[in-house]
Structure 1
Amino acid sequence: MNVHILADSASDLPIEYFQENSITFLPLSVELNGKQLEDQRAIKPKQIYEEMRQGTVVKTSQITPSLFKDVFTELAKKGTPSLYVAFSSELSGTYQTAMMMRNEVLEEYPDFRLTIIDSKCASLGCSLAVKYAVELAKSGKQLEEIENAVKNYCQKVEHIFTVDNLEYLARGGRISKASAFVGGLLNIKPLLHVEDGKLIPLEKIRGRKKVFKRIIEIMKERGVNLQNQTIAISHGDDEESANEIKALIQEEFQPKDIYINYVGAVIGAHSGPGTLAIFFLNDEL
């Protein structure tokens, strides 16, 4: 590849994907029982969900400036043009820290070509953008071509998701604690999406089956050419629901591919067990 790709753990791609495609892996961290643990390396998502079900409060932290500087410096020494597809700046300070460290490294290596894209995406929404960047890099595209194409791609990624327990969103300040309590009593499931990198509530729906039906309706409303897309589904330790919505999507749209993975530890610490998210494109590339 003419361009080296970097991505962070908030893309929720399996670490094996990074290894198989020679991508630099940048881990965010979770704080669990007083210990800082690197996402995917020192802790797996299932462990986080088990802890959360037992009432453990999990905190998260962005990638450290020192890690960014070390990684960027190594790449600068090699002189390989590089592109980092970063977790949404509206959900983490990771992008801003990366830009700050990039500028520091460029003072010492002014000829180093490093592009950092604020994907405005999260979880497997970000993974779709990373996979697209890898595909372009493998096809021999140059840095500027990949940058423009990936930015365009990111603007078209839809994130539609629901959570099983409103309390976790309440802890993160996304909804009020009163709303979480009432919602839990009434079996209300919120539907949310991502707009310009921010989490935005869409609707409140009672019952899981109605939520699934509404997700399919939204995909019909927003999706374009779904039969030729790769659609991603991420879940908070709820493979049963992920496979259930996969079957509905398959039946309705017959997409080119559907892949499923966990909502990773960092994002899952805020969304909680039972989260279910669907990612697809809303326009032609």
Structure 2
Amino acid sequence: MRIGLVVDSACDLPLEYLQQHDVTVLPITVRIGEAVLADHRDEEDTLEFLHAHVAERGAEAETTPFSVQQIQQLFLERLVIDYDYVFCMTIARTRSAVHENAQQASFAILNDYKSTRAAAGNNTPFALRVVDTQNLFSAQGITAVEAVRLRDAGEGAPKIRARLENLALHTHGYMIPRDLYYLRARARTKGDRSVGLLSAALGSALDIKPVLHCNRGETGPVAKIKGFEPAVQKLFEFTCKRIAAGLMTPTLCLSYGGELDELRALPGYDALRACCSEHNIEVFESVMSLTGMVNVGKGAVVVGFAAEGTAKFEG
């Protein structure tokens, strides 16, 4: 069985990895004023667009996921021909319309695929599963990397489906934003009142940075730490403890809203990489998608991993 994998462009994994493993990307279009870019996870394009526009007007950006019709067209023109079963892994449905659009498109795709496959000389059934990763940004990458591993190991679709849906329940994403004023302005643009003016003003005045945690589609602060770099160091130290306690997959994903050299210069980074090496954890690090950066601002750090049980973040 030929198994295909699809992610949306908010999934922070290196483009080279996605291309190497034939993972299809559903782009999200970003518009800031007259400037428009389809986010295909090209780091050079992202950084160029970032330096030119996001710093000044990113909070006003409009992000538009692939529509139901565009997803349907992508599948019927290519994916139903190239594959027999496709897993489409999306950003948390609580934070984006990508999952809902893919879910709606799947119904039409499963109704209309037969003639397309028959024309390509294939009369066997086609199946599609939309998986809500229940997470954001680099934490989405955990599910995608596991899907690649299982497919390449020759596992069947039923086992992959069960594993991915269980893994999504235990995937944790942690983010530290640099600019709370930006985060609040962006939230207001989207009608999200989760970051209040008072908390943003106090946080910026006192240089207090929240550590935000996402699991099972729910996002909220788990700590407040003075200073961006001390907050990142605490997050990296916490991650090392979780790694030592045991992860569900040998994978850690990192993303950063800017040049990766800046991420690698942050305190605690070298110790985190050493910890991953000691415990045979593969690290994937990438520039945050443009979609992610316009939503949380430049310079944000995101860590993603999968682990059973709960652990209190010690800030």
TM-score (norm 2): 0.81
Give the RMSD, CA atoms, in angstroms. Answer: 2.5
Match of 1:71 in 2: 74
Match of 1:10, SS?
coil
Deviation at 1:198, TM superposition (A): 2.7
Distance 1:41 1:259 in 2: 14
Match of 1:95 in 2: 99
Deviation at 1:100, TM superposition (A): 0.5
Query: Is 2:146 the partner of 1:132?
Result: yes
Aligned-partner residue type, residue 73 of structure 2: D
Query: CA distance change for structure 1 residues 238 and 211 in 2, over 3 Å: closer, same or farther?
Result: farther
Query: Is 2:239 the partner of 1:236?
Result: no
Q: Is the 8 A contact 2:237 2:272 kept in 1?
A: no
Distance 1:241 1:162 in 2: 14
Deviation at 1:122, TM superposition (A): 1.6
Deviation at 1:147, TM superposition (A): 0.7
Deviation at 1:94, TM superposition (A): 0.6
Distance 2:273 2:41 in 1: 33
Q: Which moved more, 1:107-116 or 1:131-140?
A: 107-116
Match of 2:56 in 1: 54
Query: Is 2:218 the partner of 1:198?
Result: yes
Aligned-partner residue type, residue 108 of structure 1: D
Match of 1:151, SS?
helix
Query: CA distance change for structure 1 residues 165 and 33 in 2, over 3 Å: closer, same or farther?
Result: same
Unpaired segments ≥5 residues, structure 2:
115-124, 310-315
Match of 2:120 in 1: none
- 1:43-91, Cα deviation, whole Å (9 max, x unpaired): 8332343222234432211112222011222333556111111111011
Q: Is the 8 A contact 1:86 1:116 kept in 2?
A: yes
Distance 2:248 2:80 in 1: 41
Q: Is the 8 A contact 2:32 2:57 kept in 1?
A: no
Deviation at 1:248, TM superposition (A): 2.7
Deviation at 1:28, TM superposition (A): 1.1
Q: Is the 8 A contact 2:29 2:37 kept in 1?
A: yes
Match of 2:173, SS?
strand
Deviation at 1:240, TM superposition (A): 4.7
Query: CA distance change for structure 1 residues 226 and 247 in 2, over 3 Å: closer, same or farther?
Result: farther
Distance 2:157 2:235 in 1: 36
Distance 1:59 1:180 in 2: 22
Match of 2:269 in 1: 246
Distance 2:21 2:94 in 1: 28
Q: 1:225 aligns with which of 225, 246, 266?
A: 246
Please give the residue correspondences for 1:100-179 in structure 2 after superposition, counting only pairs within 5 Å: 100-109=104-113, 111-171=125-185, 172=187, 173=192, 174-179=194-199
Match of 2:253, SS?
strand
- 1:124-183, Cα deviation, whole Å (9 max, x unpaired): 211121111011111111111111111122222211110100022212133012321221
Q: Is the 8 A contact 1:2 1:140 kept in 2?
A: no
Query: CA distance change for structure 1 residues 27 and 279 in 2, over 3 Å: closer, same or farther?
Result: same
Aligned-partner residue type, residue 266 of structure 1: T
Query: CA distance change for structure 1 residues 199 and 47 in 2, over 3 Å: closer, same or farther?
Result: farther
Q: 1:83 aligns with which of 79, 87, 98?
A: 87
Q: Is the 8 A contact 2:135 2:215 kept in 1?
A: no
Aligned-partner residue type, residue 56 of structure 2: Q
Aligned length: 284
Distance 1:129 1:146 in 2: 10
Query: CA distance change for structure 1 residues 212 and 30 in 2, over 3 Å: closer, same or farther?
Result: same
Distance 1:41 1:161 in 2: 19
Aligned-partner residue type, residue 128 of structure 2: L
- 1:197-217, Cα deviation, whole Å (9 max, x unpaired): 132111221113431343145
Query: CA distance change for structure 1 residues 255 and 73 in 2, over 3 Å: closer, same or farther?
Result: same
Q: Is the 8 A contact 1:8 1:27 kept in 2?
A: yes
Unpaired segments ≥5 residues, structure 1:
none
Q: Which moved more, 1:95-104 or 1:254-263?
A: 254-263
